[in-house]
Structure formats: structure tokens, C-alpha cells
Homo-oligomer: A and B are copies of this chain.
Amino acid sequence: MIIKKGEGCCSPEPGSRIRGFIQPWILLLLSEKPSHGYELLERLHSGSPETPMDTALLYRTLRQMEADGMVRSGWETGGNGPARRLYEMTGEGVGCLHAWTMNLRRTRERLDEFIAVYEERFGDGGRS
């Protein structure tokens, strides 16, 4: 259930997403194997079908990450369909992924703290 505009009191809130979460996800997926944008979209979608990824955000983020040195790309022609830009992670990208994950662990701690305080006050509503 994603809360949309005008649906409720927290309508401006698009589901409490984590800022910049797409970048570590891209790095994590690329750490498994090199991939192109459209394939990353599908891999991200299969991981969380309820929150489809925006193509504009993905492609722009990839270009930015390349400018920042986290990934590098090259055109891959010869397959069927249009040419695809194949991305792979750089050594710097690996370091980024580790640093980002440390940040995300702290984010999870803050989130856990919130939920703990909430449940202490209101109960866990049947959740374990």
C-alpha cells in the first residue's frame, strides 16, 4: 500500500523512502555482475515490485555515478535490440558500497529506535 497524493494526512510522504538508496543498490547489483540500465531496472523491480523504479532517476544516477568514478561503462552492440550501455563497478565503487552500507546500518539503527519507541507506547499491533 503506497500512500498517494491526496489519499490521507501524510499524503506528501511517498512511502518514507531513503534518500539516495538507489545508489548503493546499483553498486550492490553491479558487484554481482556487470549490467546495463534496463536490466538494473528489472533487477530492482523484481526485488521490490511494489515500488517501481523511475527510469529517469536510474539513468541519470548512473551517469552521475560514472562522473564520480564509482562505475564505468561502455557501449555494447551486437545483441538484438538497441545498443546498451554496460556498466561495471570500479575499485572506488567497491569502497563506496562499503561506506554507504555503514551509513545504512546507522539509518537502520535510527529506524529501529523509532519503531521501538512507537511499540513501547502503542504496542506492536500483533506483529512479532
Chain B residue nearest in CB terms to A18: B18
B20 A96 Cβ-Cβ under 8 A: no
Q: How big is chain A's contact interface, by range?
A: 35 or more
Contacts of A121 in B (CB 8 A): 28, 31-32
Chain B residue nearest in CB terms to A121: B31
Q: Which A102-124 residues have a C-beta within 8 angstroms of B?
A: 102-108, 110-115, 117-118, 121-122
Contacts of A2 in B (CB 8 A): 103
CA distance A14 to B18 in the complex (A): 11
Chain B residue nearest in CB terms to A113: B47
The A interface, classified by DSSP as helix, strand, loop or mixed, is: helix
Contacts of A113 in B (CB 8 A): 47-48
Q: Which of A3-11, A34-42, A52-60, A80-88 contacts B (4 or more CB under 8 A)?
A: A3-11
B20 A13 Cβ-Cβ under 8 A: yes
**Which A residues are within 8 Å of any B CB, using their own CB?**
1-3, 8-10, 12-21, 23-25, 28, 31-32, 47-48, 50-51, 68-70, 92-93, 95-108, 110-115, 117-118, 121-122, 127
CB<8 Å pairs between A and B, sample of 7? A12-B20, A13-B23, A13-B103, A16-B20, A98-B122, A107-B111, A108-B108
